[in-house]
Structure 1
Amino acid sequence: MESSIMMLDERTDQATRKMLQKVVERKQKFDHLTRLHLMVMWSTILITFVYLIFLYFTTINPYSYSFAALFSNFVNHSSNLFMLMVIFGLFGLMNVYRQKRDKAEKEFHALRCEIIDKSKDLWKKEDAWQNRHLVFEMMKKNYDINLYHENK
């Protein structure tokens, strides 16, 4: 469990701490998948760009006089097939990470909204209810998780 969540005072019970810990874990998973998606996306764009430049200077520019010669030269080099497989593989991986990221975002947002909806039940005592903003501020400051409003 995160140290700042463990240090919460007696106004926050153990079940609430577990929920806060789960929302932090889901946020970390979402952030990790977002970074992976961006890394694979930019890798795909960069490799595609470099390959197109390579293709232009080795195949398109020298053989632009005839489509048959251009196509024949493109097919004769096995590196073209390999590069196309790499690019399509990266594109597919990018889409897989995007789907995983979207799923992790939905799970994170659902748990965050559940905490917001159940805040009256989680902080039942009067003094706990009046001091719940301290927990909300800690979550916002330490983990960038907004528990004040359901909207992102």
Structure 2
Amino acid sequence: MDALKEWKLPQQSKVTIVLLQELVERKNSEKQYKAKSQTYGYLLAFILVTMGGLVWYELENSTSFFISELSIRSLPIMLVISSVITYFQLRKFSKKSKKAEDEFESLRLEIIDRSDELFKDQHQWESRHDVFNYLKEAYDINLYYK
């Protein structure tokens, strides 16, 4: 991505720019996977509540548990199938979210550890605070502390 080319930051080395771009991309990837995981979690909760409501309704109004529902409509079967699919999607995106978070955190710690190498010039070292502050405000990436 060329997000850093549009930034109005002091002149930095190419390695620094590439690492910061990769850091922003990993942060965006982490946010996307967390949002998908959260969406599937809400969807699974909704499906389970709907299934619980259906079971409660059947217990209250019927003597033959689910026999009329299974023979007339396929709603319970569809709810079970969709809950299983949603559960596995939730697991998949939770794993991807955890992996993206670990990759982001490892790169963030590497940038913090290598900041002496990345900001070699005196001018770059003095403008380091501006770069870190911009990343904190714009992308919620904290490079001040481990």
Q: What TM-score do you get using the length of structure 1 for normalisation?
A: 0.85
Partner of 2:25: 25
Alpha-carbon spacing, 1:72–1:54, altered in 2? closer, same or farther (3 Å): closer
1:121 aligns with 2:120: no
Structure 2 residue runs of 5 or longer lacking an equivalent are none
Structure 1 counterpart of 2:38: 38
Q: Which residue of 2 aligns with 1:53?
A: 53
Q: Post-superposition shift, 1:6?
A: 4.5
Q: Distance in 1 between matches of 2:52 and 2:102?
A: 36
One-letter code aligned to 2:37: H
Tell me the CA shift for residue 128 of structure 1. 2.0
Q: Once the 2 structures are TM-superposed, how far is the Cα of residue 88 of structure 1 from its aligned partner?
A: 1.2
Task: Spell out the pairing of 1:46-125 with structure 2 (5 A cutoff).
Answer: 46-57=46-57, 59-63=58-62, 69-70=64-65, 72-73=67-68, 76=71, 78-125=74-121
TM-fit CA distance, 1:107: 0.6
The answer for the alignment partner of 2:130 in structure 1 is: 134
Q: How far, CA to CA, are the matches of 1:5 and 1:115 in structure 2?
A: 21
Are the aligned partners of 2:4 and 2:17 in contact in 1 as well (CA < 8 Å)? no
Deviation at 1:55, TM superposition (A): 2.4
After the TM superposition, which of the residue ranges 111-120 and 122-131 deviates more from structure 2?
122-131
Q: CA deviation at 1:3?
A: 4.5
Q: CA deviation at 1:72?
A: 4.2
Aligned mates of 2:136, 2:75 — CA distance in 1: 50
**TM-score w.r.t. structure 2 length?**
0.88
Report sequence identity in percent: 26
5+ long unaligned stretches in structure 1 = none
Which residue of structure 1 aligns with residue 9 of structure 2?
8
Residue 48 of structure 1 deviates from its aligned partner by: 1.3
> d(CA) in 2 for partners of 1:71 and 1:6?
61
In structure 2, distance between residues paired with 1:115 and 1:135? 12
How many residue pairs align between the two structures? 144
8 Å contact 2:3–2:21 — kept in the other structure?
A: yes
- CA separation in 2, counterparts of 1:125 and 1:24? 23
Distance 1:71 1:142, change over 3 A: closer
Please tell me the root mean square deviation across aligned C-alpha atoms, in Å: 1.9
Q: Distance between the aligned counterparts of 1:61 and 1:2, measured in 2?
A: 59
